[in-house]
Structure 1
Amino acid sequence: MTKFTVISGSSSEDLAKKVAKKLRANLIKSQLKIFPDGESKITLNEKPQKNKIIVIQSTYPPVDEKLIQTLAIISKAKEYGTEVIVVIPYMGYARQDREFLPGEVITMKVIANLFKSVGTSKIIVVDIHSLLGLKYFKIKTKNVSAIPDLAKYISKLKLKNPLVVSPDKGGKDRAKEFAKILNVEYIFLDKERNRKTGKVKIKSTNFDQIAGRDLILVDDMISTGGSIIKATEFLKKQKCNRVFVACTHALLRNDAENKIKKAGVTKIISTNTIPGNTSLVDISGMIVKAII
């Protein structure tokens, strides 16, 4: 009997296939039908064996739709599996992990309760936006980092005197780790975001070490690209050379990819937590390590 059975949600079929192959596990696809009223109907293509089941599904936009689909698959897997390990490569709602303004719902806490209620034994996420969100889960959790795989890809590019840059202070540790792997320097920008309007402003004034160097802007996720665009525009004013962007999750909403490139970014490099044009780095290997 196979030790694991992998069930793929519709949003992570390619990644699930790669994970199943590495685990030598049976792969079961889920068939999805969306009714005219927006409801999702999910059917598993075959009956899982009674063993450890791994459900893999990213909850990128439309987030609510993907989330409900994921919970439905888990509940069905629980009928067969002795243990249901859930891999959410991109976890939606991770930014709603605290009450920033009075009256805001901590949605991540609600999500955590839902995953437990449908029978999740353990949840694995990749570079979750805030580790605080995992504290709401009353089950085993593991956050794995895509930074080593991203850095490995970047190291193969022929960069001129590279410098790693975090677009804000919050990503300082991420940039530091990235730079350490590449054995280069790093800096971070002083960014300010208006909580009500969402507008971003960079308060940093000048960095003498930027001029003439290839820069690697490192972030965990890119949604509309506002922070990356502002950072790129600032860095270009400092007379840097090329700007590369490396991120785990490339949501790239509202034509963000074109807007980022128009701002002066040479290349966007992301992982396959979210499939797309920029998902050049495969993270199936690190997910397998987290499972076993």
Structure 2
Amino acid sequence: ARRITAVMPYYGYARQDRKAEPRVPITAKLVANLLTAAGANRILTVDLHAGQIQGFFDIPVDHLYANPVFLDYFRRQNYKNLVVVSPDAGGVERCRAFAKRLDCDLAIVDKRRTRPNESSVMNIIGPVGNRTALILDDLVDTAGTLTKVARAIKEKGARRILAAATHGVFSGEAIKLLENSPIEEMIVSDSIPAPVTSSAKIRRLSIASLLSQAIVNIHRDKSVSRLFV
């Protein structure tokens, strides 16, 4: 083959992008090395957990964002008194840009993580009382943090609670937690196949058109930068 492009809508191990404690591997870098050693000449992926993972590769990386798909959906829903909620400080930049495009307010949840996949909500900064709150993140895994944030927002007087994430991993008891939470609707993309056990609250949006356009542009040696929204 003249060129091999690895299309990976969800980049596994993306959260292991740094050495958080002794004897912990930086697996995101290892996967990058494995892909390169296997013969990949280019990587096409969507919403990396940390943008700096692109620097782990010695080959070109096209990092797409699912925001256009989600923005189109929420604009059509035309929710009133919407506020975009960042579930942690690390997601503020993403949520700020999303809120700006929807012309709505931004709220931030200050939380303290006690152990992996678990966290305790500490404080909510911003207006959520009597509002439709949209919790926005790049992925939902065990849904522990997400549902705790939702309950904290509900206690602060939110009228409706929605959640959106590009990657729906839904591991462990995620579906059960989601069902028992105040979240009315969980919107995810189809970057990961749907779990065997799902929930009526989950709505999947297709990112096929986004990926297909990028693949065509790469194949024809055209720019894909206009897709980086």
Q: Which TM-score bucket, shorter chain as reference?
A: 0.7 to 0.9
- Pairing of 1:89-238 with structure 2 (within 5 A): 89-194=9-114, 196=115, 198-204=117-123, 207=126, 209-238=127-156
Q: Percent identity?
A: 30
1:121 is aligned with what amino acid? Answer: N
Does residue 1:270 correspond to 2:188, yes or no? yes
Matched, 1:248 2:166: yes
Indicate if the aligned counterparts of 1:206 and 1:238 stay in contact, CA closer than 8 A: no
Q: Are the aligned partners of 2:83 and 2:104 in contact in 1 as well (CA < 8 Å)?
A: yes
SS state at 2:137 partner? strand
Q: Distance in 1 between matches of 2:179 and 2:95?
A: 21
Deviations 1:190-234 (A, max 9, x none): 12112x454301221564x21111111100000000111110010
> Secondary structure, in 3 states, of the residue corresponding to 2:162?
strand
Q: CA RMSD in A?
A: 1.6
Q: Does 1:281 align with 2:205?
A: yes
The residue identity in structure 2 corresponding to 1:216 is L
How far did residue 186 of structure 1 move?
1.1
Runs of 5+ unmatched residues, structure 1 = 1-80
Q: Report the Cα offset of residue 253 of structure 1.
A: 1.3
Cα distance between partner residues in 1 of 2:124 and 2:4: 50
- 1:160 CA displacement: 2.5
TM-score normalized by structure 2?
A: 0.86
Contact in 1 for aligned 2:29/2:53 (Cα 8 Å): yes
In the alignment, is the contact (CA less than 8 A) between 1:270 and 1:280 conserved in 2?
yes
Alignment partners' CA distance in 1, 2:156 and 2:35: 46
- Contact 2:107–2:125 (Cα < 8 Å) also in 1: no
State the AA in 2 paired with 1:212.
Answer: N
Q: Shift in Å at residue 105 of structure 1?
A: 0.9
Tell me, what secondary structure is at the counterpart of 2:20?
coil
Whether the 8 Å CA contact 1:162–1:184 is kept in 2: the answer is yes
Contact 1:90 1:249 in 2 (8 A): yes
Q: Mark the runs of 5 or more structure 2 residues left unpaired by the alignment.
A: 218-229
Is the 2:10–2:192 Cα contact (8 Å) retained in structure 1? yes
**In 1, distance between residues paired with 2:13 and 2:124?**
33
Cross-structure match for 2:221: none
Q: Deviations over 1:148-202 (max 9, x none)?
A: 21121122224231111011110001111211221111121112112x4543012
CA distance in 2 between counterparts of 1:217 and 1:175 reads: 9
* CA shift for structure 1 position 268: 0.5
Letter in 1 for 2:108: F
Contact (CA 8 Å) 2:107, 2:124: kept in 1 or not? Answer: no
Q: Deviations over 1:232-271 (max 9, x none)?
A: 0100001111101111001111231331231100000000
Amino acid at match of 2:148: K
How many residues end up aligned between the 2 structures?
Answer: 210
Cα separation, partners in 2 of 1:197 and 1:179, compared to 1, 3 Å: closer
